[in-house]
Amino acid sequence: MAGAIASRMSFSSLKRKQPKTFTVRIVTMDAEMEFNCEVLDHDVSKEEPVTFHFLAKFYPENAEEELVQEITQHLFFLQVKKQILDEKIYCPPEASVLLASYAVQAKYGDYDPSVHKRGFLAQEELLPKRVINLYQMTPEMWEERITAWYAEHRGRARDEAEMEYLKIAQDLEMYGVNYFAIRNKKGTELLLGVDALGLHIYDPENRLTPKISFPWNEIRNISYSDKEFTIKPLDKKIDVFKFNSSKLRVNKLILQLCIGNHDLFMRRRKADSLEVQQMKAQAREEKARKQMERQRLAREKQMREEAERTRDELERRLLQMKEEATMANEALMRSEETADLLAEKAQITEEEAKLLAQKAAEAEQEMQRIKATAIRTEEEKRLMEQKVLEAEVLALKMAEESERRAKEADQLKQDLQEAREAERRAKQKLLEIATKPTYPPMNPVPAPLPPDIPSFNLIGDSLSFDFKDTDMKRLSMEIEKEKVEYMEKSKHLQEQLNELKTEIEALKLKERETALDILHNENSDRGGSSKHNTIKKPQAQGRRPICI
């Protein structure tokens, strides 16, 4: 299969050395090779250097079943992606967005909002220019819709994302079809399409829906003479179909494609050879090993995240305890300062009370002395009575002030006692915080592996892996289960595509629709007629002779 070439060669550049002789430099995944070759029968561009792209010649019917090696799958994914972006394969707008999201997953891995910020796809070529020009949408709007689906692909490895891309792409109408311009016996211009399912005859203006198809299992013979090509159906009641091509070289290429695709078509419907079975078994083992490795890494990542969360929680609690201790120390300092101030104020008040009591006693003595003094004249007596009255009033006021000061001193003593009690409580709380037990470091114990999972033995830097027959049986059952789940997911995927199509339909510019867009919409309205449906139509229900 020509895909084997694509699995080993990704790019080749040729530099002219002398007439018809070239030095070929092949860059592979593992090494570089250079050798001389002579071009005998090909039209080679005179521009230097000459670049060749080594591509798969025959397309698989089912990429998931037929692309065994991961490198083959990756290079075939790059080939199909480029053909879609170059519009060699027609892809509806909503499917283009979904394919772009899988391409981003294959390149960038899981979506991380902190890393994949707005504008990270600005330099990426993800959508055909036809799709971009068809809608009144900015690059930011396209990126937003691609990122929305990209975020849903979390957990898919690169090979899984690429396979999902190919499984969607292989259902497109123009996938794997090689088109050739031909003329029928009447001179009408037509297109011949050759693919993995059979031969298809198209109208030159409609490359999506064939006018008639010849499945490989219904073709008896294919031959050409000069520029005339003949297709003989297996059913002898059906007329032989003849057409003419432009060049003899085109007939040779058509015949090579027919022989190769027919051979692969028949081999796919037979039991795999021993070599293919061994390759598939090795691929399944490799896939299982990678799956186990991804599960192990996922568990380690989960345990690491849990340990980090526990560490963060302990650090948070430690910080909280430090803040509480700081607050308690500050409260204690404030309590001590308040107690000192209250004690000083109480002392001052007590001294003032003593001074007032002393003045009151002196006033009382003065009053007694005045009463005892003999007043000889009436005027002096009146004056003395007035002074006595004033002295009594002053003594009464001083007695009241002394009593008030005494009460104030008592209140200050009570406040001092409360301040000292608050200081005692603050010291007690600080002591409790200081004597709390510290949390030991977390040592997460790895969860034991399920008994039905093959075991890994890690010794130093070496890794050993043991498979059992039950593992392979279980893996086969899981693969079958994945196929059933894939069919269920396909329905959900189609619903998502319809939602996206409805969402962006209002932004479509009708005047920019291409002929393929119009044909695709008409096919969808009629129920999705395509080359697959054309082939599946009953072939033996009174078919009339072919007239094209």
SS3 369: helix
Angle in degrees, CA 496, 498, 500, rounded to 5: 70
In 3D space, the residue among 344, 370, 361, 439 whose CA is nearest the CA of residue 402 turns out to be: 361
Task: Give alpha helix (H) positions in 506-530.
Answer: 515-525
pLDDT at 227: 77
Contacts of 421 by beta carbon, 8 Å cutoff, 6+ apart: none
pLDDT at 8: 33
Using alpha carbons, list the distances in angstroms from residue 88 to 79, 130, 138: 11, 12, 24
pTM of the complete model: 0.59
Number of CB atoms found within 10 A of residue 479's CB = 13
In whole angstroms, what is the distance from residue 342 CA to residue 423 CA?
13
Q: Which residues pair with 21 in a beta bridge?
A: 18, 38
Work out the widest C-alpha separation in the chain, in whole angstroms: 172
pLDDT at 442: 43
pLDDT at 28: 44
Contacts of 152 by beta carbon, 8 Å cutoff, 6+ apart: 101
Measure CA of the first residue to CA of the last residue in the chain; give whole Å. 33
pLDDT at 305: 86
In whole angstroms, what is the distance from residue 448 CA to residue 220 CA?
61
Angle between the N-to-C axes of helices 93-108 and 158-169, in degrees from 0 to 180, rounded to the nearest 10:
160
pLDDT in tens, 397-411: 887 887 887 788 788
Contacts of 25 by beta carbon, 8 Å cutoff, 6+ apart: 12, 13, 14, 15, 32, 33, 34
pLDDT at 446: 42
pLDDT at 314: 92
CB 453 within 8 A of CB 292: yes
In tens digits, the chain (548 residues) has pLDDT values of 333 333 333 333 333 334 455 555 554 444 455 555 565 555 666 666 777 777 888 999 998 888 888 888 999 999 999 999 999 999 999 999 999 999 999 999 888 888 888 888 888 899 999 999 988 889 999 999 999 999 999 888 898 899 999 999 999 999 999 999 998 888 889 999 999 999 999 999 999 999 989 999 888 888 888 778 888 888 888 888 888 887 778 888 898 999 999 999 988 888 878 887 888 888 888 888 888 888 888 888 889 889 999 999 999 999 999 999 999 999 999 988 998 899 889 889 889 888 998 888 888 888 887 777 766 667 777 787 788 788 778 878 887 887 887 788 788 888 878 877 877 887 787 787 777 654 444 444 444 444 444 443 433 343 333 434 455 556 557 666 766 676 676 777 777 777 777 877 777 777 877 888 888 788 877 765 556 565 555 443 444 444 44
SS3 328: helix
CB 4 within 8 A of CB 61: no
**Amino acid in position 434:** A
Phi, psi dihedrals of residue 529, rounded to the nearest 5°: -70, 135
pLDDT in tens, 457-480: 433 343 333 434 455 556 557 666
Q: Which residues pair with 2 in a beta bridge?
A: none
Eight-state DSSP code of residue 322: H
For 383-436, the three-class secondary structure string (H helix, E strand, C coil) is HHHHHHHHHHHHHHHHHHHHHHHHHHHHHHHHHHHHHHHHHHHHHHHHHHHHCC
Q: Which CATH architecture has domain 176-269+512-538?
A: Roll (2.30)
pLDDT at 187: 85
Domain 21-168: give its CATH code: 1.20.80.10
pLDDT at 36: 58
